[in-house]
Amino acid sequence: MLISKFGAQPNLVADRLGYEKIQTTLSTYSHLYPDQSRKLADQLERLAEADEN
């Protein structure tokens, strides 16, 4: 729910669940982060466009 409903970052999920390593979160829940790269690219594109105006 932290990831799918709230979009929580992996480091915050790891901390909340008590995982010592963020790799545990990523290997367990990576399927819930499939479009994070696309979202980041879209955000950077919007930022660049805003700077142009």
Closest Cα partner for 40 from 7, 16, 15, 1?
7
Residue 52, by phi and psi: left (phi above 0), alpha (psi -120 to 50) or beta? alpha
At 13 the pLDDT is: 94
Residue for token digits 């709230």? 6
Give the separation between CA 27 and CA 50, rounded to whole angstroms: 35
Residues 4-52: tens digit of each pLDDT? 888 888 999 999 999 999 999 999 998 888 777 788 888 899 999 998 8
* pTM listed for this prediction: 0.60
Helical H runs in 1-53? 10-17, 22-29, 36-52
At 6 the pLDDT is: 86
